[in-house]
Amino acid sequence: MKRQNFSKVREAVGTWAQVRQLLRSGEQGALVPVVIPKDKRSYGFLFWFAAALYFLLAGVLNALSGSWGMFGFSLVAMLILLGVGGFAWWRSAIVEIEQGTMGVMSSWGAYEKTPLPPGRRYLWWPWQKVEFIVDTSTEIPYNAPVLASPTMENVPLKSIEFFLRFKIDDPILFVRRIGAGNLMRC
């Protein structure tokens, strides 16, 4: 008799570039309805703002000492550095939620009440983060063969297969209560 294995449903961790591939084709033979994106947003833009602040202070000191040429140079350098810092901040704030999925966002580590719908979002502050990307458009099959299940009369039944197909409607509730990693324990 052929013995079937449990369905493998689990969460996966991946970069933003891997989210689509993980949700659509899985990982190592497992279905992946939930992806935890690696947050590569950094504080690199703060370096540019700090350098702009340095040139602002240098410009003020040059203006006070009467060196107007150096004041002009400091002002131009400050504006360029502010532009570069603003561009770096803007690029690090972009988050793209794919069609057919929803994002679970956290602010200060607590989940937000409403999921992020598909589309481009800007998360300007470092304490805002997309914790999970949840596939809400695909029906997920779950197979769990029952090896032995005695009845009330103690008659063992040997070939029962439990098959469940579910779809995630509320991604926040799914992540909080069950999660893809806990399906094997249910």
Encode pLDDT of 126-153 as tens digits.
888 898 899 888 887 777 666 667 777 8
Q: What is the pTM of this model?
A: 0.70
In the block, tokens 């299940």 appear at 149
In the block, tokens 């992946």 appear at 32
pLDDT of amino acid 127 = 85
Mean pLDDT of the chain: 82
pLDDT of amino acid 83 = 96
As a whole number of angstroms, the distance between CA 56 and CA 63 comes to 10
pLDDT-derived band of residue 155, with 50, 70 and 90 as boundaries?
A: confident
pLDDT-derived band of residue 168, with 50, 70 and 90 as boundaries?
A: confident
89: tokens are: 């901040």
pLDDT of amino acid 51 = 95
pLDDT-derived band of residue 7, with 50, 70 and 90 as boundaries?
A: low
Q: Strand (E) positions, the chain?
A: 9-14, 31-37, 94-97, 101-107, 110-111, 119-122, 128-135, 140-146, 149-150, 156-157, 160-166
- Please report, for the chain, the start and end positions of each structural domain, with discontinuous segments joined by +: 9-39+94-182, 44-92
Encode pLDDT of 74-83 as tens digits.
999 999 999 9
> Amino acid identity of 168?
I
Residue 186 reports pLDDT greater than 50: no
> Amino acid identity of 112?
E
Encode pLDDT of 92-107 as tens digits.
888 889 898 999 998 8
DSSP type of residue 115 = P
Q: Choose among 31, 41, 166, 39: nearest CA to 103.
A: 39
pLDDT of amino acid 4 = 52
Residue 90 reports pLDDT greater than 80: yes
As a whole number of angstroms, the distance between CA 51 and CA 61 comes to 15
> Amino acid identity of 159?
S
Q: Choose among 95, 94, 101: nearest CA to 22.
A: 101
